[in-house]
């Protein structure tokens, strides 16, 4: 009996802490939380910071929850905007308007308006770094013009805007610039590239919903120098070059003139990889950028017989030159903008720390005016597609 | 006395003990001081600790059936012995309090926002007190139970975050080596790995004391592998500047895993791993304190001290510092030097005095015969 009593007491004592583990203390009910998926920041007309948060609305995601049966009405997300002196104050104004607590744990996207980006992105980094729930892997975009254009984007293929933007990154359509990348760049002078978003009016979209008439797409890239957006920007072609340089592209289609008649030959590039190598020779620093890729022919308008190995080599040469030209154009633009956007300073620091400590105070000038950068591209064109000779050539020979 | 702590159990407990502390809470401090030299500094510190704890092992293995806390007075005299044991108690109290504080700070900052720290401590310390009261074999058995799963998860995490790693940065781990940077990291690593030497206080519990040093060597190597498999990715993913500025760099590394939403929000799994590892670590530390106290007060049993010492450690953890920077300052300037004394200096003194006095004792013995 005594043993049973002792065992029962032990059992009760053992179960006692479980009461404390129920999670009721300072509970954060999911029903009382609002999840931010995107953070939009811009500068208002009066110079104040304009913060817009995109919230998901779970009640509009479940059929029958909006009153009455059938599919939910309205979009499953909303935007809330407020202006204030800084981001924290704007956030505070938004939070007092809401019936739920704001949660940043699911924020994947930050979009910065051009005006704010030109003034400097450091306040955003300061804010984000201190929010423990905020993931450093969140992606950053810049819009040409007003950031609120984003809210006028129709949703055709996806349910949420944030999903579209995340897919731009996952599918390597644009640069994958995260909060972490920008913070790391900030330690080295704040030079980086940020993907630009463009908005165009499409009449057919306007007909469907006049309020949502701006079609969003990836554009070029904003060049950031000293944590501020500067001019010029990279255009769409140069964005491909930037993706190529930063090894962020998996495959790409490039068209080059045919060596026989100058007509277009399109090739698919795969396994693209680019390496940076700082070289120190006689006390002079230079950079070697080496890019490798595999390619095959996708389409040709030229009357060409690809069974001739010599011709393939000539196409390969044309491809190399085309990619090299594009890469050089990107680098020249970053030099013009005085922005070491590919963080070459890091490579110098990693390999030659002493040289870096000498160059550090004057790196921006050195990069933009004195640093020789040698770009070499080695594309291996080894497949001709399904046939050797084009249909045009076959017809001509007949 | 139950001599049932196997080398495998020692291996399990100290692996958890070492990699949790360094990866979870000291990675930032380590990288702040040693920058790119952190991995090399950690290796140097670990092997230096192994070397410096040899006297502790030799001393304890000279009388494996007895507690140093009991026979120590025969070596250095009662006064010095009592002072030394009090120092060991203080250093372990600091260790327990700092670990408890780290645990509550982590939970409060990331997951249990708004919960009073005393309530977290209460629940956690009830479990610790129960484990300590059950005795050292229980603590080691718990460690053995959770070791494998923890080690596997810790081992997998760096591979999942491989996409974020900047491979070109690897060369910096070599080009940036310098004595100033190495010194800081070596110091932290030396003290953390030196905590293994507290085993000299519980030698009679060991099943095979002669294998202890070999177990220490294997533990050091395996935990180093796990620590480096996280430390190097942290460095290569964030760089030394950002990594040292992050409160929990390892958690941020997990958040960077981009294999779908499930993995991106995998960070709470760290709670499970860190909590269980810290549980055995703190339980072991408190057991050392209560054993020392029991022997110092000549009480045969450690149990009466368990609850009070656990409660004291909990209160100390609350009052030890007002903020995270203050806690870091306390760790570097207060806890680590005290630990350095308890881990290495005190056993060295016992060992040296023992060496000097042993021939004299033998001669006295022979004369008496």
Q: What is the pLDDT of residues A89-127, one digit of tens each?
A: 999 999 998 888 888 888 989 999 999 999 999 999 989
Ranges of H-type helices in B53-112: 54-62, 68-76, 78-110
Do B115 and A25 count as a contact with CB atoms less than 8 A apart? Answer: yes
Closest residue on chain B to A18 (Cα)? B123
Say if CB A373 and CB A290 are below 8 A apart.
Answer: no
- φ/ψ of A155, rounded to 5, equals -105, 110
- Report the gap between the CA of B81 and the closest CA in chain A (Å): 39
Q: Which residues of A touch B239 (CB under 8 A)?
A: 184, 187, 346
Alpha-carbon distance A291 to A324, whole Å? 9
Q: Does B324 touch chain A (CB under 8 A)?
A: no
pLDDT band of residue A395 (cuts 50, 70, 90) is low
Q: Which residues of A touch B256 (CB under 8 A)?
A: 135-137, 180
**End-to-end Cα separation, chain A, in angstroms:** 107
Q: Which residues of B touch A349 (CB under 8 A)?
A: 172
Q: Which residues of B touch A129 (CB under 8 A)?
A: 245
Kindly state the average pLDDT of the residues A126-148. 88
Q: Which residues of chain B are under the pLDDT cut of 50?
A: none
Q: Which residues contact B291 (CB under 8 A, 6 or more apart)?
A: B67, B69, B136, B201, B202, B302
Query: Which residue of A56, A107, A132 to mutate against B (max B Cβ within 10 Å)?
Result: A132
Whether A70 shows a pLDDT value over 60: the answer reads no
Cis amide leading into A115 (omega within 30): no
ipTM exceeds 0.90: no
CB contacts < 8 A, A to B, total 67
Mean pLDDT of the residues in chain A: 85
Residues of A within an 8 Å Cβ radius of B:
17, 20-21, 25-26, 28, 105, 129, 132, 135-137, 180, 183-184, 187, 275-276, 346-347, 349-353
pLDDT band of residue A324 (cuts 50, 70, 90) is very high
Q: Which residues of B touch A20 (CB under 8 A)?
A: 119, 122-123
Inter-CA distances, B298 with A142, A235, B293, B312, Å:
71, 81, 8, 21
Of the spans A13-17, A394-398, B85-89, B260-264, which averages the highest pLDDT? B85-89
Q: Which residues contact A245 (CB under 8 A, 6 or more apart)?
A: A274, A289, A291, A327, A330, A331, A342
Token pair recorded at residue B293? 């106290």
Say if CB A254 and CB A225 are below 8 A apart.
Answer: no
Predicted confidence at residue A355, as pLDDT, reads 92
Predicted confidence at residue A68, as pLDDT, reads 47
Alpha-carbon distance A212 to A74, whole Å? 13
Q: Which residue has better confidence, A78 or A26? A: A78
Predicted confidence at residue B262, as pLDDT, reads 64
Q: Which residues of B touch A135 (CB under 8 A)?
A: 255-256, 264
Inter-CA distances, A65 with A57, A74, A98, B6, B174, Å:
11, 12, 20, 60, 60
* Residue keyed to tokens 């940065």: B169
Beta bridge partners of A254: A267
Q: Which residues of A touch B109 (CB under 8 A)?
A: 132
Do A347 and B255 count as a contact with CB atoms less than 8 A apart? Answer: no
Alpha-carbon distance B301 to B282, whole Å? 20
Alpha-carbon distance B116 to B94, whole Å? 22
Do B241 and A184 count as a contact with CB atoms less than 8 A apart? Answer: yes
**Closest by Cβ to A132, choosing from B110, B164, B256:** B110
Alpha-carbon distance A289 to A374, whole Å? 6
**Positive/negative CA dihedral, B139, B140, B146, B150:** positive
Count Cα atoms within 13 angstroms, Cβ side, for B251. Answer: 25
- Report the gap between the CA of A73 and the closest CA in chain B (Å): 27
Alpha-carbon distance B256 to B237, whole Å? 9
Q: What burial class does residue A263 get, using C-beta atoms within 10 Å of its C-beta: 0-12 exposed, 13-18 middle, 19+ buried? A: middle
Predicted confidence at residue A61, as pLDDT, reads 73
Say if CB A343 and CB A188 are below 8 A apart.
Answer: yes
Listed by number, the residues of chain B in 223-282 with a beta carbon closer than 8 Å to a beta carbon of chain A are 237-239, 241-242, 245, 247, 252, 255-256, 258, 264-265
Say if CB B42 and CB B30 are below 8 A apart.
Answer: yes
Do B239 and A184 count as a contact with CB atoms less than 8 A apart? Answer: yes
Closest residue on chain B to A184 (Cα)? B242
Q: Does B113 touch chain A (CB under 8 A)?
A: yes
Predicted confidence at residue B69, as pLDDT, reads 86
Closest residue on chain B to A187 (Cα)? B241
Token pair recorded at residue B14? 């100290």
Torsion of CA B218, B219, B220, B224, to 10 degrees: 110
For the ranges A73-77, A120-124, A369-373, the lowest mean pLDDT is seen at: A73-77
Beta bridge partners of A195: A221
Do A136 and B241 count as a contact with CB atoms less than 8 A apart? Answer: no
Q: Which residue has better confidence, B190 or A299? A: B190
Predicted confidence at residue A58, as pLDDT, reads 78
Q: Does B163 touch chain A (CB under 8 A)?
A: no
Q: Does B167 touch chain A (CB under 8 A)?
A: no
Do A276 and B168 count as a contact with CB atoms less than 8 A apart? Answer: yes
Whether A161 shows a pLDDT value over 90: the answer reads no
**End-to-end Cα separation, chain B, in angstroms:** 32
Say if CB A54 and CB A106 are below 8 A apart.
Answer: no
Alpha-carbon distance B273 to A95, whole Å? 34
Count Cα atoms within 13 angstroms, Cβ side, for A266. Answer: 7
Do B119 and A25 count as a contact with CB atoms less than 8 A apart? Answer: yes
Torsion of CA A185, A191, A195, A198, to 10 degrees: 150
Say if CB B157 and CB B255 are below 8 A apart.
Answer: no
Q: How far is CA B367 from the centre of its chain?
A: 46
Nearest 5 degrees, angle CA A137-CA A138-CA A141? 130
């Amino acid at each position: 009996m005594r043993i049973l009593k002792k065992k029962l007491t032990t059992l009760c004592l053992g179960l006692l802490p479980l009461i404390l583990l129920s999670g009721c203390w300072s509970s954060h009910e999911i029903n009382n939380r609002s999840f931010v998926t995107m953070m939009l920041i811009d500068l208002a007309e009066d110079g104040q910071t304009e913060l817009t948060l995109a919230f998901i609305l779970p009640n509009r995601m479940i059929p029958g929850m909006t009153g009455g049966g059938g599919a939910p009405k309205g979009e499953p997300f909303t935007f809330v905007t407020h202006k204030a002196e800084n981001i924290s104050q704007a956030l505070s104004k938004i939070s007092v308007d809401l019936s739920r607590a704001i949660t940043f744990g699911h924020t994947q996207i930050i979009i910065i308006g051009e005006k704010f980006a030109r003034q400097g992105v450091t306040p955003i980094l300061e804010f984000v770094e201190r929010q423990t729930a905020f993931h450093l892997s969140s992606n950053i975009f810049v819009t040409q013009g007003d950031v609120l254009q984003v809210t006028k984007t129709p949703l055709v293929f996806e349910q949420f805007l944030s999903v579209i933007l995340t897919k731009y990154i996952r599918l390597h359509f644009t640069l994958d610039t995260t909060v972490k990348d920008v913070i790391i760049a900030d330690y080295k002078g704040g030079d980086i590239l940020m993907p630009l978003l463009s908005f165009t009016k499409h009449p057919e979209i306007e007909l469907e919903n006049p309020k949502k008439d701006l079609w969003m797409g990836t554009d070029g890239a904003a060049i950031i120098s000293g944590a501020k957006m500067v001019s010029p920007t990279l255009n769409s072609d140069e964005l491909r070059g930037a993706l190529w340089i930063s090894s962020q592209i998996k495959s790409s289609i490039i068209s080059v003139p045919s060596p026989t008649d100058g007509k277009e030959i399109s090739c698919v590039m795969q396994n693209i990889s680019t390496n940076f190598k700082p070289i120190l020779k006689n006390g002079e620093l230079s950079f070697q950028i080496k890019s490798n890729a595999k390619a095959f022919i996708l389409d040709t308008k030229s009357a060409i017989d690809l069974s001739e190995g010599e011709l393939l080599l000539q196409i390969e040469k044309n491809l190399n030159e085309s990619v090299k030209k594009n890469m050089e154009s990107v680098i020249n633009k970053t030099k013009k903008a005085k922005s070491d956007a590919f963080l070459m300073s890091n490579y110098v620091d990693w390999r030659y720390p002493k040289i870096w400590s000498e160059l550090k105070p004057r790196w921006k000038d050195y990069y933009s005016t004195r640093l020789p950068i040698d770009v070499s591209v080695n594309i291996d064109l080894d497949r001709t597609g399904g046939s050797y000779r084009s249909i045009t050539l076959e017809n001509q020979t007949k | 006395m139950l001599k049932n702590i196997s080398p495998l159990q020692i291996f399990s407990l100290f692996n958890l003990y070492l990699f949790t502390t360094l990866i979870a809470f000291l990675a930032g401090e380590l990288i702040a001081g040693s920058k790119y030299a952190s991995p090399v500094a950690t290796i140097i510190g670990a092997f230096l600790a192994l070397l410096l704890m040899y006297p502790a092992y030799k001393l304890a293995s000279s009388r494996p059936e007895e507690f140093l806390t009991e026979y120590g007075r025969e070596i250095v005299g009662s006064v010095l012995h009592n002072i030394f044991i009090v120092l060991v108690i203080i250093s372990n109290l600091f260790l327990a309090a700092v670990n408890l504080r780290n645990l509550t700070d982590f939970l409060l900052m990331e997951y249990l926002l708004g919960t009073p720290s005393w309530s977290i401590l209460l629940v956690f310390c009830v479990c610790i007190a129960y484990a300590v009261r059950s005795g050292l074999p229980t603590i080691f058995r718990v460690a053995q139970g959770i070791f494998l799963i923890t080690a596997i998860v810790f081992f997998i995490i760096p591979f999942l975050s491989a996409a974020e790693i900047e491979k070109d940065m690897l060369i910096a781990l070599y080009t940036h080596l310098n004595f100033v940077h190495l010194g800081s990291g070596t110091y932290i690593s030396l003290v953390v790995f030196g905590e293994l030497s507290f085993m000299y206080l519980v030698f009679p519990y060991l099943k095979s004391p002669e294998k202890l040093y070999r177990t220490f060597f294997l533990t050091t190597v395996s935990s180093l592998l796990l620590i480096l498999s996280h430390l190097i990715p942290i460095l290569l993913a964030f760089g030394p500047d950002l990594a040292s500025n992050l409160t929990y760099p390892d958690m941020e590394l997990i958040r960077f895993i981009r294999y779908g939403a499930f993995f991106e929000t995998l960070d709470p799994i760290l709670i499970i791993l860190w909590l269980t590892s810290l549980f055995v670590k703190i339980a072991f530390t408190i057991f050392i304190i209560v054993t020392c106290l029991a022997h110092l007060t000549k009480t045969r049993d450690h149990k009466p001290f368990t609850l009070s010492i656990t409660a004291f450690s909990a209160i100390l953890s609350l009052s030890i510092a007002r903020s995270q920077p203050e806690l870091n300052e306390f760790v570097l300037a207060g806890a680590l030097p005290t630990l350095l004394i308890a881990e290495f200096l005190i056993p060295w003194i016992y060992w040296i005095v023992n060496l000097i006095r042993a021939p004299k004792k033998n001669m006295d013995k022979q004369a008496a015969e």
